[in-house]
Amino acid sequence: MGTAHLHSAPHTTKERILSAAEELFARHGFDGASLRQLTAAAGVNLAAVNYHFGSKDRLIEEVFRRRLDELNSRRMAALSRIAGQEGTTLEDVLAAFIKPALDLSHDDSGSLFMRVLARAFAEHDDTLRKFLSENYGHVMRQFTAEFARLLPHLSKEELYWRVDLVTGALTHAMSGFGMIQRKSDVTEHTHREQTAAHLIRFAAAGLSHP
Amino acid sequence: MGTAHLHSAPHTTKERILSAAEELFARHGFDGASLRQLTAAAGVNLAAVNYHFGSKDRLIEEVFRRRLDELNSRRMAALSRIAGQEGTTLEDVLAAFIKPALDLSHDDSGSLFMRVLARAFAEHDDTLRKFLSENYGHVMRQFTAEFARLLPHLSKEELYWRVDLVTGALTHAMSGFGMIQRKSDVTEHTHREQTAAHLIRFAAAGLSHP
DNA sequence: TCCGGAATCAAACGATCGTTTGAGCATACG
DNA sequence: CGTATGCTCAAACGATCGTTTGATTCCGGA
């Protein structure tokens, strides 16, 4: 839990490794990206990875942790503002889930992380799944509980199915980002709003259809 | 270029390699599964892969070709029976797309292939994407054209988005198979029908929402 | 029966992988 | 100033990778 000064760490060796790792893991996969490519891209010595992270596997975990801590705390914050409230709509909950991910996709190199995440889904690696489930499973559980409240006519089994399908669609969409290109006459911000509205409407239709 | 007797080749070395490759690629990825594991699992000599397929990359292509030829010809056959007809519904077209994949998922080791396919989506490998696009892109184009006919109120851009999202959901669902377990009191056949109906309703809602 | 191409085999090739080592360098503290 | 500590570095380690080689076995047709 320590990890002092999460922000404002611009040029340290650890940060340079993490950024290069995120890009190369997204582009070539966890096995496909070697530590030699990685450290060369980061401009650091080969041994620096094992010195600072212990092993390649622990580096992979840190790549996830850096982004998911931020992403999931934003999702939880957005959800806690609306969960259980009377006027809350399905679209509100979906917005709390989707918008933080879109914000992440937009900033500097965060969009690459979504591709890393998509790879993690495709890999049915038990170690990685266990790590993700243990550290971030409660987020998905909270959202599912809120979906259940707003969709009382669905059985638990039915709801799990639909949430799973929506998750697949969103992961696929965000990792294969850029299907819809931003028109030159709209700002980045409004484009993101439009994309969010798009995904939310699709997910709402899939979740709540009769 | 021969490739005589495509069917009915039960015990040949090539077939044993292809089956073992499908399983190990699904389980450990294309890089993660080595030719030594693969040939050991198949009970053949290490050099047999390069003798019969030329290289590991060409073996990967053959793994795709063997299943996708069958899958896509069934999809095209089902589509051609309903495309352009007056009474055809959106659900009919989706059934033509989904049911052949479910049939494939069900038989002997076909379900593993869906995981291989999901990996191929996650990998943004250009060589593999080009291979899939060149050989099977026309199928997706035909289905999209029929969707466009049945959903005339959607712009081309809007339609592409929704088709992409539906594709992501289905790929995710079929590769992560087993979310819904078959109850012991329903037959395999009716379970498959129920699953198909489920996916079709979800996809129809996502495609046609206002 | 003998021959010739197809198929299989053990063994080795060079390359690259993740990881470790031990010396060298820096900076801060007594 | 001397030294301890945190970090970087080139080099090497053993393991494993995809691929190739050359000998051996198999088997149908003249």
Q: Which residue in A has a C-alpha nearest to residue B162's C-alpha?
A: A202
In angstroms, the CA of A183 and the C1' of C25 are apart by 52
Residues B96 and B171 in one domain: yes
Residues A65 and A49 in one domain: no
Q: Is B30 helix (H, G, I), strand (E, B) or coil?
A: coil
Which residues on B lie below 8 Å from A199 (Cβ)? 165
Torsion angle of C-alpha atoms B77, B80, B82, B86, degrees rounded to 10: 180
Nearest to B209 among A119, A121, A201 (CB): A201
A&B contacts, CB < 8 Å? 102
Instruction: Tell me A81's DSSP state.
Output: T
Residue A25: which CATH number?
1.10.10.60
- pLDDT for position A107: 66
- The answer on pLDDT for A6 being more than 70 is no
| Number of domain units in chain A | 2
- pLDDT for position B179: 52
- pLDDT for position B156: 93
Q: Assess if residue B35 is contained within a domain.
A: yes
Q: Are B116 and B27 in contact (CB under 8 A)?
A: no
Tokens read off for A19? 């950024």
Distance, in Å, from the CA atom of B13 to the CA atom of B33, rounded to the nearest integer, reads 18
Q: For the packed helices B56-80 and B110-122, what is the interaxial angle rounded to 10 degrees?
A: 110
Q: Assess if residue B5 is contained within a domain.
A: no
Residue scoring higher pLDDT (A48 or B133)? A48
Q: Assess if residue B3 is contained within a domain.
A: no
A29/B31 touch (CB, cutoff 8 Å), yes or no: yes
Whether nucleic acid strand C comes within 7 Å of the CB of B13, the answer is yes
Q: Assess if residue A122 is contained within a domain.
A: yes
Q: Which residues contact B200 (CB under 8 A, 6 or more apart)?
A: B91, B94, B95, B98
* Residue of B78, B118, B116 whose CA lies nearest to B95: B78
Structure confidence by residue, pLDDT tens digits, A115-174? 898 888 888 777 888 888 999 999 999 999 999 999 999 999 899 989 989 998 888 888
Residues B44 and B67 in one domain: no
Residues A40 and A76 in one domain: no
A32/B27 touch (CB, cutoff 8 Å), yes or no: no
Number of helices (H), then strands (E), in chain A: 9, 0
Q: Which residues contact A107 (CB under 8 A, 6 or more apart)?
A: none
- The answer on pLDDT for B1 being more than 50 is no
B179/A198 touch (CB, cutoff 8 Å), yes or no: no
State the pLDDT confidence band at B103, using cuts at 50, 70 and 90: confident
Distance, in Å, from the CA atom of B167 to the CA atom of B164, rounded to the nearest integer, reads 5
Distance, in Å, from the CA atom of B206 to the CA atom of B147, rounded to the nearest integer, reads 12
Residues A112 and A136 in one domain: yes
Residue B198: which CATH number?
1.10.357.10
Q: Are B149 and B90 in contact (CB under 8 A)?
A: no
Q: Which of A2-16, A63-77, B117-131 has the lowest mean pLDDT?
A: A2-16
Residues A72 and A154 in one domain: yes
* Residue of A38, A6, A35 whose CA lies nearest to A23: A38
- The answer on pLDDT for A7 being more than 60 is no
Measured CA to CA in angstroms, residue B178 lies from A167, B173, B195 at distances of 16, 9, 11
Measured CA to CA in angstroms, residue B125 lies from A67, A199, B128, B129, B195 at distances of 24, 26, 6, 6, 31
Whether nucleic acid strand C comes within 7 Å of the CB of A109, the answer is no
Q: Assess if residue B1 is contained within a domain.
A: no
Torsion angle of C-alpha atoms B40, B44, B50, B54, degrees rounded to 10: -110
Distance, in Å, from the CA atom of B200 to the CA atom of B166, rounded to the nearest integer, reads 10
B contact residues 61-120, partner A, Cβ 8 Å cutoff:
115, 118-119
For residue B70, count other CB atoms closer than 10 A to its CB. Answer: 16
Measured CA to CA in angstroms, residue A194 lies from A4, A55, A183, B153 at distances of 36, 41, 11, 19
Structure confidence by residue, pLDDT tens digits, A70-129? 999 999 999 999 999 999 999 999 999 999 998 887 666 667 888 898 888 888 777 888
Phi, psi of B148 (to 5 degrees): -60, -40
Instruction: Tell me B183's DSSP state.
Output: P
Distance, in Å, from the CA atom of B154 to the CA atom of B144, rounded to the nearest integer, reads 12
Torsion angle of C-alpha atoms B172, A118, A161, B87, degrees rounded to 10: -40
What is the dihedral sign for C-alpha A69, A70, A73, A76?
negative
Residues A31 and A66 in one domain: no
Selected residue of B199, B202, B207 to mutate for chain A interface (largest A Cβ count, 10 A):
B202
- pLDDT for position B207: 97
- The answer on pLDDT for A5 being more than 70 is no
